[in-house]
């Protein structure tokens, strides 16, 4: 099996991994807050920028490939935060099944 050709020295972005926490809102729904799970080093690679429209205004959806050291607790629906930037994890997988790295496909919010 081929291993991912990746330089760990490229993990230069400090991110906070966050998990959603739902709390009942008293009206049958829930409010979502975010709880920090870990602080980690990662590599952020922009992948696509797709123009779109939201509520009658222009908006660009930006996707990223975010590499980090392998963790078993990362899943879709979590998010990674760097300062004011928020990356929603859409998929997370071990690209070569070696247990060394985790590749997350993310969508950046708020841009």
Domain total for the chain?
1
CATH of the domain at 17: 2.40.10.270
**pLDDT digit string (tens) for 25-71?**
888 889 999 999 999 999 999 999 887 766 666 678 899 999 999 99
Q: From the centroid of its chain, how far is CA 98?
A: 21
pLDDT tens-digit profile of 75-103? 999 999 999 999 999 999 999 999 999 99
Is position 82 within any domain?
Answer: yes
Asked whether residue 85 is assigned to any structural domain, the reply reads yes
């Amino acid at each position: 099996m081929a291993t991912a050709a990746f330089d760990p020295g490229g993990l230069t972005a400090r991110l906070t991994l966050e998990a959603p926490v739902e709390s009942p809102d008293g009206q049958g729904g829930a409010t979502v807050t975010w709880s920090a799970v870990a602080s980690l080093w990662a590599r952020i690679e922009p992948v696509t920028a797709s123009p779109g429209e939201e509520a009658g205004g222009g908006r660009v959806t930006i996707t990223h490939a975010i590499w980090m050291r392998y963790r078993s607790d990362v899943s879709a629906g979590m998010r990674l935060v760097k300062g004011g930037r928020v990356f929603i994890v859409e998929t997370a997988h071990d690209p070569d099944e070696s247990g060394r790295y985790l590749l997350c496909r993310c969508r950046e919010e708020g841009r």
